Structure 1
Amino acid sequence: MENNTIFSPIVFYDNTNTDKSRILSENKGKTGIYQWTHKESGKIYIGSAVDLSSCLSKYYSPLNLKRLDNYISRALLVYTHSAFSLSIIEYIDITGLTKENARKLILSREQFYIDSLVPQYNILKVAGSSLGYNHSDESIALMKKIQKNIDRSGEKNPMFGRTGEKNPFYNRTHTAETIAKMKEINKGKIKSEEIRTKMSVSQKKINNLGENNPMFGKTGDLSPVSKKVYVYSSSSPSILCYEFLSILETAKYFNCSNTTISRYIKNGEVFQKEYILSFYPLI
């Protein structure tokens, strides 16, 4: 399949499994922006690195992918690297720049591509979030302001006019195997409003009146459905990663108990080494 980015890549690797040695050797010591692309669905992930080879090598470690447990890492584990292509969409010259200025330049270029391509695998839409950068409050506020002011309507949307043969998924369908893998990757994702509505209708048909209701006698903080839960990045507490309708929904997403979620909210400890949980918006 051809590369579906709207930008012409500097270097393109069609099979990241067989091209592994080339990817790591050709990008050693180079700084730039990279793009993972799932060849069948066209979904992409945008990232940046001071040393592309060092950064990309981490995507070949099953232990590291399991530890990260984010959308792109789960996709790589389920589909395997042979299902993905890799594009280096920009090399960045940081010669003579201070570490801080180099960081700012890299993040500004990554943010440009995130804004332009709207990558589906990037859960956080702020550049550097996946790399553990600690943005200043000022830079976070600025990037959020920029995000809000971006007009992606009409011709300004990168997918505008990409219908029919111009659409990356034109004349193609998912195989049964791919559909099964997509379901595996999406396990635990927040249910859509449509599904929630259907579940609500089904629940209404069940006799949950009085003592038959599992929530009978549970009010206020005792009710796992009484409070929203806000999940923030521990490295950048101003970045909201997820928002759940209840403790119960949060626990289901992270595959743990309601008690565990409640404990981390109460104690204010870092959850799963990367999140801060709160009943209230932090910003």
Structure 2
Amino acid sequence: MNNNIVPIKTYSNAERDKFLLYKENNNKSGIYRWNNLITNKSYIGSAKSIRGKFSIYYSTNSVQRKLAEGNSVINSAILKYGYGNFSIDILEYCDISALIEREQYYIDFLEPEYNILKIAYSLLPSPPQGGYEGDEGAKHTEMTKSSIGLKSLGRKHTEEAKLKMREIAVLRKGGETSFYGKNHSPESLLKMSINRSIQVKVLDTILNEETVFLGNKEAAEFLNVGLSTLVRYKKLNKLIKNRHLVSN
């Protein structure tokens, strides 16, 4: 691991410093680095929302889900060694328009071992089915969008929500006997479960991005507000923290 750089912020224990990282990086975009304290290997990535990106990293369901979708060295390492054996550096805060350029700079300069691809994701041509290794949080490929055919394409579903949606589709009981005894593709299960689930949409009015959560509780945790606060603002159709609009 190349340490010839002074980070803006360092969180020496990723497990212990989780909520401090959330607090200090709310509404910030920039370049980050995971450091394995045992192997001295590292991973560099960029995020339009650092807090949002790490809320996914800190969900073991999300990490496992990404591994199920394709190979990811950093996610595999997080599960193997545990959060407590990693530190996190914020290398730089920058405008969203400069993220990929700055990410590429740090990949070239620091040569992180967990970045199998040495080219920042958005500089690559269209990805193959399953995506590129090292792509943490990429949008659906056009091929995936076409195969899933969801009404919600263009939105981002949290990985926990997608996992729960599939479980709901499989576990539902009652008068839906026509569902059983049939082979459903994962895409079909996801589509059916999304149609039946209570979804909560959070629109970031600054980034113009919509994230879909499975229930008010998950959305409230993401926004770092109380459940009653989220429900009240949703009912009044008012912005939370002058930025996020919540709806069903």
TM-score by length of 2: 0.49
Greater gyration radius:
1
Could you say which structure has the greater relative contact order, defined with CA pairs below 8 angstroms and 6 or more residues apart?
2
TM-score by length of 1: 0.43
